[in-house]
Structure 1
Amino acid sequence: MNKKDECAVFQDLYELYTEEEVEDETKQWMMEHEAVCTYCQNCGKENGRNPAFHEDSEKVWGIRIMTMSLYSIFLFLAIWMSVWYLW
């Protein structure tokens, strides 16, 4: 893979990398690439200062919390209905 392709892959995975949602091998590669590539270092700093990036992250976090809450309620109701039915 050439440098341009590596940078493109790094940019595509950067958000997942910052949220620590990549595998260990990928994380290690990204850490090594970020240490060597000045272009990707600068892009990472720019994303960190971008308010739209943080706003999107907050929206995603809110959606995750809502989804987990709905799953929890569904699980609770399923267990409760199963116990109630067996009595």
Structure 2
Amino acid sequence: MGELLNSGLLNVASLAISLIVMIIGLALWFFVNRASSRTDEQIELLEALLDQQKRQNALLRRLCEANEPEEKEAPKAAAEVVNEDEDDFIRLVAER
């Protein structure tokens, strides 16, 4: 009679462990699935943002090209003065 009782308890214990493992597995699946769907939504939003930024950059480039003045001699002279100032700054930096 003891053998029948022990085998019945082992079956119940085995069934209980299986149910616990299944519940833990389902909980893990739920959280992983939820995180995955949120990540997918974030990726879609980031791709939409990137598309909008590309459009804005293209519009800004067109505006800059449309408003760009014709090159004259004066801006080149200003650029040379800036380069001379940069050389002076480099001379001020102590060498190691």
**TM-score, normalised via structure 2 length:** 0.39
Higher RCO structure (Cα 8 Å, ≥6 apart): 1
TM-score scaled by structure 1? 0.43
